[in-house]
A and B are shown apart, each in its own frame.
Chain A
Amino acid sequence: MKAIIAATIIGVIMMFASILSNNKSGIVSLATVLFFFLFGINIWEVYESINATGVAAPAYLNNMMSLDSFAIWFSMLMSGCALLYILLLGKEIAKVGKHVGEYFALIAFIMVGIYLLAGYSNMLMLFIGIEILSIPQYILAGSDKRNLKSTEASLKYFLMGSFSTGILLMGIAMLYGATGSFDIINFRMLQTDALNPLALSGILFLIIGLGFKVSAAPMHMWTPDVYDGSPTPFTAFMSTIVKAGVFVAFLRLFHASFGNLTNHWMMIVAVITATTLFIGNITAVFQQSVKRMLAYSSIAQAGFMLFAILSVNATAWQGIVIYAVAYSVATIGMFAVLIKLKDYTYDGFNGLAKKEPALAFFTTIFLMSLAGIPLTGGFMAKYFVLLAAVQQGQVMWLVIFALIMAAVSVYYYFKVIIAMYFKTGEAELNHEVTGYDKLMLGITCLLVILIGLMPQLLLNL
């Protein structure tokens, strides 16, 4: 709860900083310090929760929030990722437009949404969390106001996002009609064998509403356009940390409330997973722009994360944590490299290895992680979610399909590596890569490998 309050206050501070000061680099520094502070508070909360073992998870807001150890731990990891994001891309955020402080304020508010989603125990909190997370994103997507693509991205995101909010609310309404409660614990009372059609429709609407937010096919259509059009630093944030936050909400709801109803919804999620994997991977193959390819790849990665949803067991929780962090870290790193380049197409990467060997090397590691090559975080992430599905045991066909799709993904990720190392050309950079950039990218790289070597570190629940 401390983190939620702190993040809100940080958001307000940043808003005022935006009014009071025009000094961009000063605002970035302030934001960095404040996010360090936020991360510190998260660690403090984790420390407290470790000391309080055996005590029931504290409930807040009339039992609408239940901040158990998982919620606190996950919030801490996401804050860490957000901190890494600001350290890597803070300077780039300042270049998007005039209102730098407001961007950071919006990011802080999104963090509030993520904390709410990590620990909600009431549908109202789910709804509020999703909205707190979504509305700032609409604004961030359109923050480059002079740019047509950015405006268009924002519009598309808003239109489809509000539609999906409607669907989500419809699901909540139906479940309310079936059970008379908004508490996710009470949904367990639903009859397993003869499920009320109202409740079933509610569950389906929830799958669709949440599936939209994590860009699962066929609700994925907004993803490429929005991620492509948004200013690159915000794409990096939206496609990683935010998505991971929504996934945890998804997981919490479907494991805690509908865990005993799997025979009613698992096949639907399996179908969605298969479609998502297929569309994400196949379409990514044909893209010319690396930024758009990463948008499709984020759909593909969501397909893998959906495995955690449909395998209702403890490994799935571990899998989602590892996946969220490994994917976020690698993708943020990848975007931090991308933003340095003038040309976002594959050709823009030609000959990067010659010009900036360190940058090219880091990119290689990030891409290997995204492709799931062993000894990187991405491999462990894929391994854990697939392991969860294997232990669950009903969807072996889907696991095999996912492996084939993972093999396809190597093609488009490695195209970048080939461009960097094996093609001649002059990769044009926007500006000099400073020592600070290299240091931060190096640390990100180390994190990727560390997760690959010791995924256990992320599971100290």
Chain B
Amino acid sequence: MNEISLNHYLFVSCALFFIGVYGFLTRRNLITMLMAIELILNSININFIVFNKFLFPDKLDGLFFTIFIITIAAAEAAVAIAIIINLYRNYKTIDVEETNTMKF
């Protein structure tokens, strides 16, 4: 029990993933929800890297995939912030439950 194994990493990643999902489901503030999404993506990044390191150490595929995810997540976040700002201008709020003009 003196070495950190694959399973330990996976536990962390799994916990992060579900914390992210939980936050996404329960929070009403859009910025917090955005953070929850980042948590989910980061848990996946951890997955990729530990799989790469522990199971397939001869290539760096997983690592590169992670870099792509980080890049694209940044792009997504940029768009998200733009949308949230626009929403704030229109609704004067960033509470997700206020946005329900369309239903049924």
Contact = CB atoms under 8 A, between A and B. Distances in A.
Are chains A and B touching directly in their complex (CB below 8 angstroms)? yes
Contact of A151 (B24, B72, B90): B90
Contact of A169 (B41, B96, B99): B41
Taking each of A127, A138, A152, A182, which has the highest tally of chain B beta carbons within 10 Å of its own beta carbon? A152
A124 B79 contact: no
Interface residues of B, number: 40
Interface stretch (A157-165, A233-241, A266-274, A328-336): A157-165
A135 B47 CA distance: 24
A151 B17 contact: no
B22 interface: no
A148 interface: yes
Interface string B6-27: 0000000000010010001000
B55 A228 contact: no
A92 to B, nearest CB: 21
Interface in A167-224: 169-170, 172-174, 176-177, 180-182, 224
Nearest to B36: A163
Given A163-B24, A169-B44, A181-B61, A152 B72 contact: no
Interface residues of A, number: 39
Interface in A110-144: 123-124, 127-128, 131, 135, 138-139, 142
B47 A173 contact: yes
A298 interface: no
A139 B79 CA distance: 7
Nearest to A154: B83
Contacts of B37: 159, 162-163, 166
Contacts of B83: 138, 142, 151, 154-155, 158
A166 B40 CA distance: 6
A177 B84 CA distance: 36
Interface string A391-428: 00000000000000000000000000000000000000
A372 interface: no
A123 B68 CA distance: 12
Interface in B39-63: 40-41, 44, 47-48, 51-52, 55-56, 59, 61-62
Given A151-B87, A162-B76, A169 B69 contact: yes
A225 interface: yes
B99 A155 contact: yes
Given A124-B68, A128-B68, A225-B103, A145 B86 contact: yes
Contacts, number: 107
Interface string A303-337: 00000000000000000000000000000000000
B41 A135 contact: no
B12 to A, nearest CB: 14
Contacts of A24: none
A76 B51 CA distance: 38
Contacts of B24: 163
A124 B48 CA distance: 12
A173 B20 CA distance: 17
A151 B90 CA distance: 8
A299 interface: no
A153 interface: yes
B102 interface: yes
Contacts of B52: 176
A142 B75 contact: no
B48 A173 contact: yes
Given A124-B65, A176-B61, A229-B102, A135 B48 contact: no
B60 to A, nearest CB: 12
A127 B68 contact: yes
A155 B72 CA distance: 18
A332 B86 CA distance: 29
Given A135-B75, A170-B44, A148 B90 contact: yes
Contacts of A123: 65
Top 10 closest A-B pairs, CB basis? A166-B40, A180-B56, A173-B47, A177-B51, A169-B44, A152-B99, A225-B102, A131-B72, A162-B37, A154-B83
